[in-house]
Amino acid sequence: MYKNKAYIIKTKTNLHVGSGDTNFGIVDNEVQRDTITNLPVINASSLKGALRDHFDELIKADDTSKHFTKLFGDEETQGLIKFIDARLLFLPLRSNKKPFYHVTSKETLESFKDMLQSFGIVLDFEGISGDESIVVDKQDAVIEDVHCKAKELNLQKLKNLFGIKNLAIFSEEDFNEAISNLPVIARNKLNDGKSENLWYEEVVPRESIFVSVLSYYDNFNDSGADKRGKTDKTVLTRQYKKFEEKLLSDDIQIGANASIGYGICNFTLLGASDE
């Protein structure tokens, strides 16, 4: 069986996890997106690769590295953690009233809750009704080019869960427009002060909030042996705890362009399935 844990991933700097696609020559490097919703995502393979790189030195230095490596897997065995795509849940957008609002949509929140429930993770926050773009505030606001009406909804639990101060709920149409028009940054290679290669790169802006689920393998028989490898349950539990402690305390770089500060993220535990 697997124990499931959901983690918030907040970007502290711009993030570019590339899809390898171009936008008809306008954007040279696009970000990864969900094939159905078009939401920006961090594919599971990219997320696992980034975490594996971050933990590489710890794995080499740890006295029980043989068991710790089992969490990620190696050439011979499958890893004991399943990595699930990280979905964008809140996108920061500029406003005329506040520096920015964290923006989402009712449909995105509902899909997110359904996804977590499929992993046995239930979050307690209020439902949202209506189809217009609103700000959860006392005054109307313009967010980018979207005029939002003020509504003092009781969404404090949702704001507390994700550490959000300023919240806006867009209509699905407005939210789809927002996520389809992410910032694009011009990049240039110079040689003796002359431009040799100008290109344009799509980024997910800092302060964006993703959520991912990690599923921890816990398939043991009554004697405490792993049915696939006879690894002691206590050792694996200790190693996952060590993994999680470092995951939650470190700044972790995800995606491309680490040398110019892209992709610095931090993780926060959001919820877990019932023991």
Task: Write the pLDDT tens digit of every residue in 54-111.
Answer: 988 666 665 545 556 778 877 777 788 999 999 999 999 999 999 999 999 999 999 9
Banded pLDDT at 220 (limits 50, 70, 90)? very low
pLDDT of 223 above 50:
no
Q: What is the mean pLDDT of residues 42-46?
A: 96
pLDDT > 90? residue 217: no
Of 168, 109, 164, 163, which is closest to residue 143 (Cα–Cα)?
Answer: 168
DSSP character at residue 78:
B
**70-233-58-47 Cα dihedral, nearest 10 degrees:** 50
Q: For residue 138, is it within any domain? A: no
Q: Is residue 198 part of a domain?
A: no
**Domain-located, residue 111:** no
Sheet strands (E) in the chain: 2-11, 41-42, 81-83, 86-94, 100-105, 134-135, 141-143, 146-150, 167-170, 184-191, 194-202, 209-217, 252-253, 264-272
71 within 8 A of 80, measured Cβ to Cβ? yes
Give the pLDDT confidence score for residue 85 in this predicted structure.
Answer: 97
pLDDT band at 221 (very low <50, low <70, confident <90, very high): very low
Residue type, 225: A
- Tell me what percent of the residues of the chain surpass a pLDDT of 90: 62
Residue 261 within a domain: yes
Residue 40 has pLDDT above 60, yes or no: yes
Radius of gyration of the chain (CA): 21
* Alpha carbons 48 and 25: distance in angstroms, whole number: 30
* 139 within some domain: no
**Bridge partners for 182 per DSSP:** none
Residue 218 confidence (pLDDT) above 80: no
- Is 177 a domain residue? no
Residue with tokens 């200790």: 238
- The pLDDT of residue 25 is above 70: no
234: pLDDT strictly greater than 70: no
Structural domain boundaries enclosing 51 = 1-17+44-84+205-275
Position 135 in a domain: no
State the pLDDT at residue 115: 94
Per-residue HEC secondary structure of 17-45 comes to CECCCCCCCCCCECECECCCCCCEEECHH
Instruction: Please report, for the domain that includes residue 9, its CATH number.
Output: 3.30.70
pTM, two decimals, is 0.89
